[in-house]
Each structure stands twice: as C-alpha cells, then as structure tokens.
Amino acid sequence: MAGRPVDHEHRAALLDAAVDHAVEHVFSELSWRSVAAALGVSTTTLVHHFGTKEQMLEAILGRLRERLVAASRELAGEGADLATTARAFWAWSSDDHRRPTFRLFFAVYGRAVQSPETYTGFLEQLGADWIAILREAQGPDVDAAVATRRATVVVATLRGLLLDLLATGDRARVDAAAEEFLAGL
C-alpha cells in the first residue's frame, strides 16, 4: 500500500526559509522562480509542496503571523497595564531590526484593501490578536466596550505612526509624536 512517507519537516523548513526570503524582498516581486532560486530548489518543488502561488503566499503569511503573535504575547508580559504594554509595543515594532518585517506587513495591507479575497485572513487575525492583547492589558475591571475602544485606538495610532516612520524615515518627529501619545494613556 503505502509508499514513501510525507516529509513534513522538510516542507516546514522550506516554508521558514521562504518567510525569511519574503521579509527581505519586495512582496509584489515574489514569484515561483525568484523564491525557488533563493531557496536553491526548482519551481516544481515549490509547486509540489504549496500548490499554487497564492497558496504559497498564504502559507508564508500564516507562518509570519505565528511569529509576530508569539513575539507580541511575550511583549505583553504579565500584569503590565495598557500604557506599559503600548510602550513596549511601540519600542518593539519601531525597532530598526523589525523594519523589513513591517514593510512586508504594510505591503500586504495595501494589497488586501484592494483585493479582499486574499490576505484579509492574515490581517483580520493579526489585528484581532493585537487588540485582544491590549484589551487584556487593561485588566478584567474595565468595561468590555471601553476596553475594545481603547485597544482599537492604541493599535490604530501605533500602526499609523509606524506607517509614517517607514514612509518618511523621520524618526525624530515620529518618536516625539509617539511619546506624546503614550504619555497621555
């Protein structure tokens, strides 16, 4: 009956390498051939493991989301309040080492708002995860509706500031604005 068993580890390793490559390159220029060349395999190998290009991109983004959410949950720590958590979020996401990652993040956003069929899952889940983390940071005593409002505002502001930083590179102005916002929490 059964022939050669499926090598799940190899697929996972390929996916992780593909995520690393995607983060460091332009999202709209990802192709079977470019990814295959970067990973040292042929396009047919990728096709065999991921199916269609769209499915490969979804797999890449899903894996990226896992990384981001895990890192975000660590940030929140235990018992930190909203202001502290928000400050940690800003320091983490605006770190220069995270620039390629968030560049990809906003590239996907730009794609998703015009083509909702794809990539919205990635954004909705990631946005919901972040809002949930910031809701929990407010403790159980805060009214649920109020907590959601505040979490939505914090996520939106930090995301907008990050977009400003990535587009203009004006760190002094954006950091000052972030401090102004965070101090008011």
CB of 123: closest distance to DNA in angstroms?
21
Residue 117 near a copy of itself by CB under 8 A:
no
DSSP 26-50: -GGG--HHHHHHHHTS-HHHHHHHH
Radius of gyration for the alpha carbons in the chain, expressed in angstroms and rounded? 19
* Binds 82: which of a copy of itself, DNA, none (CB < 5-8 Å by kind): none
Residue 114 near DNA by CB under 7 A:
no
CB of 183: closest distance to a copy of itself in angstroms?
10
- Two structure tokens written together for 146: 């109020």
Task: Report 12-51 residues binding DNA (CB under 7 A).
Answer: 29-34, 40-45, 47-49
CB of 54: closest distance to DNA in angstroms?
6
Contact 102, 93 (CB under 8 A): yes
Name the DSSP letter for residue 7: -
Q: For binding to DNA (CB under 7 A), which residues are involved? A: 1-7, 10-11, 29-34, 40-45, 47-49, 52-54
